[in-house]
A and B are shown apart, each in its own frame.
Chain A
């Protein structure tokens, strides 16, 4: 049964990805494109000002000990580049069904016998393609701010990218359920994004945060993804990737599992209460 369904689900995934990509690029909006960069750009700019103008290029010894290197701008660039994937998970995958409802296509979508998960995965695949472009763009912009990679561990680089995207997909599925249930357009996605920004170690090493903040950061897949990515590009003095890899895989499985359950639950709830296109 599962084997029979696989080609069908793959078709759904590809078709959804194609539709999403077509919609993104055919109705391209510079304002939308710019919006995705605002937060990473602003953080890079602020970090540059803090590093060069306020603290004259000197980081604290605690920072150097935690990171195993002193290059602050390269440290912050990698975290920021990853942020574009958070944006995709929260704002694209997290609002797939919200927009289906807003456009009046949610009933038609749910009438089809397609796999809902494949549909959501298609949206994620399209978002991942767009995010990769943004990801590269952030690195290119960061070169102007002084980003320098001291190494390139290909396996670790792509492993961190794929595993983080997988875990974020799970978070996107959960966000999708929240935005659809509460008819919320941006608040949930905004809040999620900023929580990831604050607690994932994008702007400072997790080790320097207060203990309670470190506990939150341990539950976020991006924390491990960023650490792996930094290790692949900055080659810190002492780093063992095994713990971060295992944690990232575990979190990915947990989040996608919960996401799948929420996807089923909201569909059941909407069918039962006839809430598909009710605002």
Chain B
């Protein structure tokens, strides 16, 4: 029953997103443009490589790869943000009450919505990978495939968990879409997506460390472009695992709280 709800929610969300074939075109073009914007931002300074300091070591990373990895993870993060507004859309369509009156497991609804973003993400991923690798030579250095796989998997899971939390959080608001959109640029700035984290002003670093994307970017960039091993990225991976577990638990509590509040205050579909 749980997985049926997950799959049904996934299908629904994917169909709502891909209501038109034109969406596919934009799904290719948007991340490409975004990636190029970040890439060109470096051109007044350098055009080949960027230095990333981590754990007392300095890694010289290919600039295209640096922005490419950033763009790939960021695209997924944006998808998660959009999913975060799923309940807001249900309310707008007038289907939120029907959804919550059904005996469907709430976590399954959240998970289905978050996993739908993974399907959308595949298009982004294909779009970015093909367009970038087609245009530029990305210098990839992988020494530990397990470290790379763990980095990608944990980054992905932590962002899915974050998406579930946002979905449950935005149910309290009628501006879920707006808040989801508003969070994008600040997180883009704070996560170290645009520039190496060692350059971040110290006062802002505390916010950077609260974002799973920050650690995802460090571990994936180092394992894919810098040849880092599991030992080298143990700390960011440990933090990512901790964040994933915490965010899943938080999502469970948040959806329960949202439903209880909605029943007590009868504000579920009030605009």
Contact = CB atoms under 8 A, between A and B. Distances in A.
A72 B30 CA distance: 27
Contact of A198 (B33, B181, B185): B33
A7 interface: no
B168 to A, nearest CB: 20
Contact of A49 (B22, B34, B175, B200): B200
Contacts of B19: 183
Contacts of A209: 40, 43
Q: Counting chain A CB atoms within 10 Å of each CB, which of B135, B181, B195 scores highest?
A: B195
Interface stretch (A129-137, A188-196, A235-243, A266-274): A188-196
A38 B182 contact: yes
A270 B135 CA distance: 40
A41 B185 contact: yes
Contacts of B41: 43, 46-47, 50, 203-204
Given A31-B178, A46-B189, A194 B26 contact: no
A177 to B, nearest CB: 12
B20 interface: yes
Interface stretch (A8-16, A55-63, A109-117): A55-63
A61 to B, nearest CB: 11
A50 B195 contact: yes
B103 interface: no
B106 to A, nearest CB: 27
A209 B43 CA distance: 8
A45 B44 CA distance: 16
B246 interface: no
B26 A204 contact: no
B36 A191 contact: no
A54 B196 contact: yes
Contacts, number: 116
A182 B19 CA distance: 9
A50 B199 contact: yes
B37 interface: yes
Nearest to B20: A182
A246 interface: no
Contacts of B37: 194, 197-198, 203
B22 A31 contact: no
Contacts of B254: none
B45 A50 contact: yes
Interface in A40-97: 41-43, 45-47, 49-51, 53-55, 58-60, 63, 72, 75
B134 to A, nearest CB: 11
Interface of A: 31-32, 34-35, 38-39, 41-43, 45-47, 49-51, 53-55, 58-60, 63, 72, 75, 182-184, 187-188, 190-191, 194-195, 197-199, 203-205, 208-210, 212-213
Interface of B: 19-20, 22-23, 26, 29-30, 33-34, 36-37, 40-47, 50, 135, 175, 178-179, 181-182, 184-186, 188-189, 194-196, 199-201
Given A49-B200, A72-B44, A197-B33, 5 more contacts: A42-B188, A46-B195, A50-B42, A195-B29, A203-B40
